């Protein structure tokens, strides 16, 4: 209990730092992780080498260095979430083509919005209810520590996002009476070894992928939208939505899955440093 309150106290102190000082600390953390602690260096190097066999060692080292800065920015911005205001989030996030979501809402069409662990994915999910006309929902994996879990849920839901537990995904979505909901799904998580049902090519590698987006979009008759997230400058982001499928019932088997995986691959190839390379994405390859 004492550890929880101390963590929250110091977390809130960090969250009150002005942004210039916050990013100065982020620079230090990036240096510490990359040059001193070599945080998950072998995982990061291996992922990059296999994903970009055409790039030189110098290019890969540059991506790796920029990754640590992206990662440390996400850490510090996560602390900022403890005290950030709606006004600040609205100023720092821009949806370039909101008409994609408005047109689906006007048709009373629900949406699965697919995204990857690219730039600040936490802030993106947290802020999306401020940018679209739909009610927004997201799956989450509860933490074992009930106090920290309650805090994380409070942070993520502070601007209107509604969370539901991972094990309740199918019953929640199939039973949701919202006529035009928006569900936030991550496209790049690795299935558990015993739950792998499909593999596809992703970043030059045989990759096991979840089929939840495809299965649930068809069961619930939802449109599928993929979003690109770009960091314009530190602390400022732009989102561009791509309508992949409006009528998923007309798609071939695995077409939805392959398409959203390819959309993420295209984003990573365009902006490689800002993906989560420290994740053991191919541990079951």
Report the C-alpha dihedral over residues 96, 97, 98, 102, rounded to 10 degrees. 180
Model pLDDT, residue 187: 87
| Radius of gyration for the alpha carbons in the chain, expressed in angstroms and rounded | 19
pLDDT band at 4 (very low <50, low <70, confident <90, very high): confident
Q: Extract the tokens encoding 22.
A: 């916050």
Q: Which of 53, 23, 69, 136 is nearest to 274 (CA)?
A: 69
Give the span between the Cα atoms of 183 and 185, in whole angstroms: 6
Per-domain residue ranges of the chain? 1-83, 93-276
Model pLDDT, residue 18: 97
* Average pLDDT over every residue of 9-17: 91
Model pLDDT, residue 201: 96
Residues 6+ apart with CB under 8 A from 145: 4
Give the span between the Cα atoms of 139 and 185, in whole angstroms: 7
Cβ atoms of residues 148 and 125 within 8 Å: no
- pTM for this model (two decimals): 0.95
From residue 91, alpha-carbon distances to 85, 131, 239 in Å are 10, 11, 13
The mean-pLDDT minimum among 26-40, 100-114, 189-203 falls in 189-203
Cβ atoms of residues 112 and 224 within 8 Å: yes
Residues 6+ apart with CB under 8 A from 180: 104, 105, 107, 108, 109, 110, 111, 134, 135
pLDDT in tens, 248-273: 999 999 999 999 999 999 999 999 99
Cβ atoms of residues 19 and 77 within 8 Å: no
Cβ atoms of residues 203 and 265 within 8 Å: yes
Residues 6+ apart with CB under 8 A from 85: none
């Amino acid at each position: 209990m004492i550890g929880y309150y101390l963590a929250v106290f110091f977390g809130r102190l960090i969250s009150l730092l002005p942004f210039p000082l916050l990013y100065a600390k982020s620079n230090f953390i990036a240096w510490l992780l990359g040059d001193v602690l070599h945080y998950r260096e072998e995982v990061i190097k291996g992922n990059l080498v296999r994903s970009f066999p055409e790039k030189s060692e110098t290019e890969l080292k540059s991506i790796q260095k920029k990754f640590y800065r992206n990662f440390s920015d996400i850490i510090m911005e996560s602390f900022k979430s403890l005290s950030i205001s709606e006004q600040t989030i609205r100023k720092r996030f821009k949806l370039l083509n909101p008409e994609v979501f408005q047109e689906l809402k006007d048709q009373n069409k629900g949406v699965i919005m697919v995204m990857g662990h690219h730039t600040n994915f936490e802030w993106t999910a947290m802020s999306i209810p401020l940018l679209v006309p739909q009610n927004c929902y997201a799956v989450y994996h509860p933490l074992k520590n009930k106090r920290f879990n309650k805090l994380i849920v409070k942070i993520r839901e502070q601007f209107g996002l509604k969370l539901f537990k991972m094990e309740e995904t199918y019953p929640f979505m199939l039973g949701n009476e919202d006529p035009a909901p928006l569900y936030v799904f991550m496209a790049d998580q690795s299935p558990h070894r015993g739950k792998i049902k499909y593999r596809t090519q992703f970043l030059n590698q045989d990759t096991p992928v979840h089929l939840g987006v495809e299965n649930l979009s068809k069961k619930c008759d939802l449109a599928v939208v993929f979003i690109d997230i770009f960091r314009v400058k530190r602390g400022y982001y732009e989102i561009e939505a791509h309508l992949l499928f409006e009528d998923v019932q007309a798609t071939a088997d695995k077409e939805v899955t392959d398409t959203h995986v390819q959309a993420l691959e295209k984003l990573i190839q365009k902006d490689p440093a800002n993906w989560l390379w420290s994740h053991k994405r191919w541990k079951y390859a």
